[in-house]
Amino acid sequence: MKFSVTVTLKKDVLDPQGKVVHNTLTNLGIDNLKSIRQGKFFEIEVNETDQNKAEDKVKEMCEKLLVNLIIEDFQINKLQ
Amino acid sequence: MKFSVTVTLKKDVLDPQGKVVHNTLTNLGIDNLKSIRQGKFFEIEVNETDQNKAEDKVKEMCEKLLVNLIIEDFQINKLQ
């Protein structure tokens, strides 16, 4: 069973990397850009046929390693 | 207008970072993990009311800076 996980910085957390990307895009001549924030993306495949169990597994991975819960939020989506 | 962009490595491209995450998760005692691949995620807000124009803008950003088209694929989704 395949899942995607997107990890984003919480709203009030500064995103210096996104800021640099924003400036660079502006310097490249792209206008009309209002904001850009960068996050992480994972594609995770689990050997588990039960969807709830599989999702719990992915959640456990996020909480144990992939996500810094103090400054980041995450969202799990089933693929296909 | 708000878009999300996910950038993933092409299928045949090795993902050493994902491999490290995989090993670490296994060491943390998580079983049943079949594969994990890491990518990038962007949340982009554009000052543009026409959806087609806005999407073209985001596509241009991807091609100019955000994505290495030789080894990466990208997908644009409208948010909300």
Note which residues in 8-47 of chain A have CB less than 8 A from chain B: 8, 18, 21, 24-25, 28, 30, 32-47
Kindly report the CATH number assigned to the domain that includes residue A73. Answer: 3.30.1280.10
Enter the ipTM.
0.91
B30 CB neighbours in chain A (<8 A) are: 57, 60-61, 64
Overall pTM surpassing 0.80 (yes/no): yes
| Total count of domains within chain B | 1
* pLDDT for the residue B24: 97
What are the φ and ψ backbone dihedral angles of A30, each rounded to 5 degrees? -90, 120
* pLDDT for the residue B59: 97
% of chain B exceeding 90 in pLDDT: 99
* CA distances in angstroms from A8 to A1, A51, A68, B71, listed in the order given: 23, 24, 10, 23
CA distance, residue B5 to nearest chain A CA (Å): 10
Domain that holds residue A38: 2-78
| Mean pLDDT, residues B57-71 | 97
Distance CA A11, CA B52 (A): 27
* pLDDT for the residue A80: 77
CA distance, residue A2 to nearest chain B CA (Å): 9
- Determine which helix (DSSP H) or strand (DSSP E) holds A77, and give its type and residue range: strand A72-78
* pLDDT for the residue A76: 97
Regions of chain A where pLDDT drops below 50: none
